[in-house]
Amino acid sequence: MRTVTSWSPRDGTVISKLADPAFQWGYLPPMHVTESRQLLVFGNSTSILQVDRDGRYIVKVVVDLHDGVKSPCSVQCSKLTGSLIIGMLNNNKIIEFKTLPK
């Protein structure tokens, strides 16, 4: 289960909890906040998920195994270049996806 804490007072108050089978890790999964304040969470070893800003539900699967993502370990999303760049664990692969403008 992922726990989202309050950001504004920065006092660690729990504001929501999200449990999903995609979050079955033996450790805290990597996360990334985009420039447009979207929260991307590395689901299982084959997906990156967008979670709503309050951390209450999964909005969508951003990329997964069908897109060539396996063992993602880092991500960078840039509005400037219009790209989502994902680094993989245990290999020398980096995948770049073009993003759609809002």
pLDDT at 84: 92
pLDDT at 51: 87
Q: Which residues, in sequence order, are CB contacts of 37 under 8 Å at separation 6+?
A: 53
Dist. CA 35–CA 48, nearest whole Å: 17
User: What residue spans define the domains of the chain?
Assistant: 2-98
Digits of tens for pLDDT over the chain (102 positions)? 555 544 555 666 766 777 777 666 666 667 888 888 788 888 667 888 888 877 778 899 899 999 999 888 888 888 889 999 999 888 888 999 998 776
Write out the two tokens for 95: 């995948």
Dist. CA 96–CA 83, nearest whole Å: 6
pLDDT at 57: 83
